[in-house]
Amino acid sequence: MYRQFLLILILFVCTLVLGGQWVWNETKDELISQQETHIEKLSQYITSELDKFSHIPELISKDKELINALLTPNNSAQIEITNRYLDHVNEVVSAADTYLLDSYGTTIAASNWFLERSFIGKNFAFRPYFKDAIQGRESEYFALGLTSGLRGYYYGFPVVYAAEIIGVVVVKMELSAIESTWQQSQGAFIATDDNNIIFMSSEPSWLFKSLTNLPEDTLTQIRQSRQYLNADIEPLNATGDLTVSPSLLNLKDNNTNGEFLTLVERFPRAKLNLRSLVSTKHLYWSMINFAVIVALIFGVLSLLLLLARHRHLKHQQIDRIQAEAKQKLEFQVLERTAELQVEVRQRTEAEQQLIKTQGELIQAAKLALLGELSTSISHELNNPLAAIRSYADNGARYLIKGNSEQASENFSKITQLTERMANISQQLRSFAKKSDNTDLTYIALDPVLFSTKALLNPQLKSLNINLIEAAPSSYSVLANPIQLEQVLVNLLTNAMQEIKGLEKPKLTISLENSSDGWLFIHIDDNGAGVEEQKIARLFEPFFTTKDNGLGLGLSISRQIIDSFYGHLQYARSPLGGARFTISLLTAKD
């Protein structure tokens, strides 16, 4: 056994050394390949961006606005025309600035003539783009703007009149747009000049720093050229060969400290060197990941050996434990079976009690609702009683006078009024009847709606509310008719209490049928609706928006609809108030 472990250890060390070297080289090659692709794309992108502006100065140098301004620099009207023309050109080509220099390098017109940082009157004779262009050569140059302090790439071109150079037109492009495309998940990009000073970078903290320590005379020369204005050029103290690509560089300053794999590509047009830098941490992390994987693999092999060694012993222990466990399990099964029987009996009793309590609570809510309707129902019964008495007295007088035909008519009206009172009583008895929660069947909806309106008619009349009903339909829904009627009465009563006292109260019942077998009953009013912060708790037990409410009506209504396998939901009504929607399953054809 120990010899096997020693063999695994030797194999592990060899795999770690040889495999680690292979992983290092492969990861390095992959990073180099990726950076070569990135830097090539970046070079092409910079070229295309620079090409956008390279021909603009030459094109506008022949325009009469520029030539006239150089020939008559004291003509303020012509200068203003040229300023506006340059502003228009600058806007069309999306340049940073476009300006016109006379033969002495002084700006006489500029696109930014109306800004505080205007170039008008500034002299740029010291800039290389002016020196080259005034000699008749097309010029490109990068530097910090003397007025704006922003990095820019300048294009200069001579303005020729009668075979004589009379000025220079300059177009400036900002470099921030190019840098915005430099971000990548690994490493960074920089662009350095011939003195290895960083002019563009995807790492803003590296701007205007030099890769190496520059001699004092070089720094003096750079400051005198004013290419970087007064930028404090600090070194990144790079160690390594800057001329070799790819190579390893170590950078160290206050903000940067690390080793980087770098690639270099010369960009002759802009006299810049494009460099891609990727931290060697990626290489070391690859090594660490490889080492972890190898360690896990050999760890698993070691565990397998240990498992094999103890397998025989475990089999013996398992046989003994299984015998003990079997005996113990049989005892536990018997004990648990007895406990489960008691628990099942208790839960059955509790469930039956819950169903009974829920039914009693629904019945109590129904009777409470009848109590709320009692005043209007009493008024609805008193009117027929008074009419019956009046018709009876009149009928008796007609009989005494021998007018049997008029007396018969009065007695007929008494019969109609008693039938009306009987219908009201029948509605009350039907509504008050205690129903079974499990008594579900497909019922016609129209009779339930008719019965509901009949029950609420007295209260609707007393509150002067006109209930707009849905058109007669042939829908059948899965429900308990008495309990569905209770829910409808409860929701309509709530709506009536909400809109009573309004100048123009509106209350509607509408039906909507869906293609997937659902019927939606919408109850809408034009009241104030429910406040936003109270909607979430609207159907909770004992939560109420009324001053004297118990908060059980909506909770019980939702329980009833849930028992029908339906839904009760609240939404904002098209009428401006509340909308309660009952969703019920419809009978299939």
SS3 at position 357: helix
More confident residue, 437 or 40: 40
pLDDT of residue 239: 76
Beta bridge partner(s), residue 444:
476
CB 98 within 8 A of CB 109: no
Pull the structure tokens for residue 244: 């070799």
Query: Among all chains, which residue has been given the structure tokens 């609706």?
Result: 529
pLDDT of residue 57: 92
Mean pLDDT within 171-176: 84
Q: Where in the chain is the domain with CATH 3.30.565.10?
A: 436-585
The pair phi, psi for residue 250, each rounded to 5°, is -105, 125
Mean pLDDT within 15-22: 80
Residue 473 pLDDT greater than 80, yes or no: yes
- Does the domain made of 53-177 have the CATH classification 3.10.180.10? no
Query: What's the sign of the alpha-carbon dihedral 325, 327, 330, 334?
Result: negative
pLDDT of residue 135: 92
Q: What one-letter code names the amino acid at 46?
A: I
- Give the separation between CA 159 and CA 161, rounded to whole angstroms: 7
Q: How many percent of the chain have pLDDT more than 70? A: 83
- Give the separation between CA 431 and CA 62, rounded to whole angstroms: 98
Closest by CA to 154, choosing from 169, 167, 165, 166, is: 169
Of the ranges 208-212, 505-509, 550-554, the best mean pLDDT one: 505-509
Instruction: Judge if the upstream peptide bond of residue 447 is cis by omega within 30 degrees of 0.
Output: no
Residue 327 pLDDT greater than 90, yes or no: no
Measured in whole angstroms, the distance separating CA 254 from the mean position of its chain's CA atoms is 40
Residues in CB range of 247: below 8 A, 6 or more apart: 240, 241, 261, 262
Q: Where in the chain is the domain with CATH 3.30.450.20?
A: 53-177
Give the homologous superfamily in CATH for domain 436-585.
Histidine kinase-like ATPase, C-terminal domain (3.30.565.10)
* pLDDT band, very low/low/confident/very high, at 167 (cuts 50, 70, 90): very high
- Give the separation between CA 397 and CA 407, rounded to whole angstroms: 8
Closest by CA to 114, choosing from 146, 141, 90, is: 90
| Three-state SS sequence of 5-56 | HHHHHHHHHHHHHHHHHHHHHHHHHHHHHHHHHHHHHHHHHHHHHHHHHHCH
Q: What one-letter code names the amino acid at 335?
A: E
CA dihedral 451, 454, 456, 457 (to 10 degrees): 160
Residues in CB range of 232: below 8 A, 6 or more apart: 208
Per-residue CA distances from 350 to 47, 343, 353, 563 (Å): 82, 10, 5, 18
- Give the separation between CA 170 and CA 90, rounded to whole angstroms: 11
Residue 123 pLDDT greater than 80, yes or no: yes
Mean pLDDT within 410-416: 71
Query: What's the sign of the alpha-carbon dihedral 50, 52, 54, 60?
Result: negative
Pull the structure tokens for residue 521: 């009953």
DSSP letter string, 260-294: EEEEEEEEGGGTEEEEEEEETHHHHHHHHHHHHHH
pLDDT of residue 389: 67
**pTM for this prediction:** 0.45
CB 467 within 8 A of CB 453: yes
pLDDT of residue 370: 55
Mean pLDDT within 520-536: 89
More confident residue, 432 or 494: 494
pLDDT of residue 431: 53
Closest by CA to 191, choosing from 93, 303, 277, is: 277
For 88-120, the pLDDT digits (tens) are 999 998 888 999 999 999 999 999 998 888 889
pLDDT of residue 80: 92
pLDDT of residue 589: 56
The pair phi, psi for residue 232, each rounded to 5°, is -85, 105
Q: Which residues of 535-561 are buried (b: 16+ CB within 10 A; e: fewer)?
A: eeebbeeebbeeeeeebbbbbbbbbbb
Query: Among all chains, which residue has been given the structure tokens 């019927």?
Result: 519
CB 154 within 8 A of CB 143: yes
Residue 432 pLDDT greater than 70, yes or no: no
Query: Among all chains, which residue has been given the structure tokens 């129209």?
Result: 446
